[in-house]
Amino acid sequence: MSEYISCEWLENGMDFDVGVYGSNIMQCCYVSCPGGGNIMLKRDFDGSPIDWEEFWKLKNHYRDIQKSGQTVKECTDCVFLRKDNWEEGNHIKSVIFDHFTRCNCDCVYCYTHDDKHKYNTLKSYNVMPIIRDMVERGIFVPGGQIGFGGGEPTMLEEFEELINYLLDHGFDNISIPTSAIKYSPVIEKGVSMGAVNVQNSIDSGRRETFAMIKGIDAYDTVIENMSRYASKKAENYNVISKYIICPGYNDMKREADLWLETCDRIGIKMLMLSVENIWLKSHRHEGNRRIVDLVRYILDKGRSMFPYCEGENHVMQLLSGIEKDGQ
Ligand code: SF4
Ligand code: SF4
């Protein structure tokens, strides 16, 4: 172990990224880093066996910069940098599967909304042989976080096999954001083991609002599936419902009330609140009073009803900024 400033992705992480910009292995998926992020570990990756010697040579180049007390240029001012005792040895503990290739929803706020067909037909590869190889070689070991980004994980052909394999090999911190339109037995299994966190952004309390935001009439199915996951949950609250306030669509107290009531009825205990990102970026400084009031209203009511109801970081920053300005 040695103490220096770094992050878990620089040290022990990798991101399998498949999207419109190609298929690459990245250091992490954090694209908002002031230094630029987007550190490439392997360009044009097509699922072929990885040359691990070459991989670690490059990864250790970045680790050595951090060890020397400097900062990797692309990581400058990243919020994930922290001083810690980092382990020696070449292990991967945290993996993100960022497949921007399949989704059975069409959310109005999604980056795929402009050209759904293009994203839904992007070419991908099977990640299972690589994961199996990594586990068998002792390269990929439990201890970090495993997550998905981009499209809908349950639409991936190898999803059930992949999560089953990870659960069978002791990986117990797996986060799965899902549209919850397709029910997944392996999510159910992972939730009941307490090894999987499942998050669904329903953004509505009614079928009509759901259809308007998501582009599909599947509200009842989603409620049914989330209710089934919630009934399997382990002691920790690992079934999460999220409400992204999309001004013009669901920014009414009545809608949010119905969301809270439904979560209560189907046994969800953990709630997250967010505000649609593009809207927030263009209104950050003026702090739209009505939306800020709605955020406060939902958080106050949610906290009185559930063990956990919080805003995402950018929502809390919005509130604290507004409070500082005395609005
Ligand atoms: S410091 Fe930030 S940008 Fe750099 S690898 Fe870590 S999370 Fe990514
Ligand atoms: S569920 Fe996620 S990936 Fe699918 S359209 Fe909505 S935001 Fe995009």
pLDDT band at 219 (very low <50, low <70, confident <90, very high): very high
> How close is the Cα of 147 to the center of ligand 2, in Å?
15
User: Would you say residue 45 has pLDDT above 70?
Assistant: yes
pLDDT in tens, 118-155: 888 888 899 999 999 999 999 999 999 999 998 999 99
By DSSP bridging, strand 2-6 and strand 82-86 are: antiparallel
Contact assessment for residue 283 and residue 319, using Cβ atoms and an 8 Å cutoff: no
Which of 99, 103, 154, 276 most suits a substitution to test ligand 2, by most atoms within 8 Å of the C-beta? 103
HSE (side-chain half, CA atoms, 13 Å) at 64: 6
- Of all residues in the chain, the percent with pLDDT exceeding 90 is 77
H or E element: which one contains 303?
helix 289-305
Q: Which position has the higher pLDDT, 34 or 217? A: 217
- Give SS3 for 53: helix
Q: What is the pLDDT of residue 286?
A: 59
Taking the CA of 40 as reference, the closest ligand is: 1
**Confidence band, pLDDT 50/70/90 cuts, at residue 316:** confident
Task: Please give the Cα distance from 226 to 86 (Å, whole number).
Answer: 38
CATH topology of domain 2-324: TIM Barrel (3.20.20)
| Closest of 167, 113, 106, 49 to residue 159, by C-alpha | 167
Handedness of CA 302, 200, 167, 186 (dihedral sign): positive
Helix locations, 91-154, DSSP H: 116-120, 128-136
The bound ligand whose nearest atom lies closest to the alpha carbon of 34 is 1
325 pLDDT band, cuts 50/70/90, is low
Is 233 a residue whose pLDDT tops 70? yes
Look over the chain and give the mean of its residue pLDDT values, rounded to a whole number. Answer: 92
Tokens representing 91 are 């292990």
Burial grade of 1 (CB within 10 A; 0-12, 13-18, 19 or more): exposed
Q: What pLDDT shows up at residue 116?
A: 87
Atom 2, ligand 2: which residue's CA is nearest?
151
pLDDT in tens, 196-213: 999 999 999 999 999 999
**Per-residue pLDDT for 80 more than 90?**
yes
The pLDDT of residue 285 is: 62
Q: In this structure, which residue's CA is closest to atom 6 in ligand 2?
A: 107
For residues 218 and 216, give the distance between their C-alpha atoms in angstroms, rounded to a whole number: 6
Q: Name which residue leads in pLDDT, 117 or 264.
A: 264
Q: What is the per-residue pLDDT for 322?
A: 58
Predicted model pTM: 0.92
Does 9 have pLDDT greater than 70?
A: yes
Query: Residue 181's pLDDT is what?
Result: 98
The residue among 9, 50, 44, 10 whose CA lies nearest residue 24 is: 44
DSSP 185-214: HHHHHHHHHT-EEEEEE---SSHHHHHHHH
Work out the average pLDDT over 275-290. Answer: 77
Given a contact cutoff of 8 angstroms between Cβ atoms, the answer to whether 118 and 67 are in contact is no
Q: Which H or E run contains 255?
A: helix 253-266
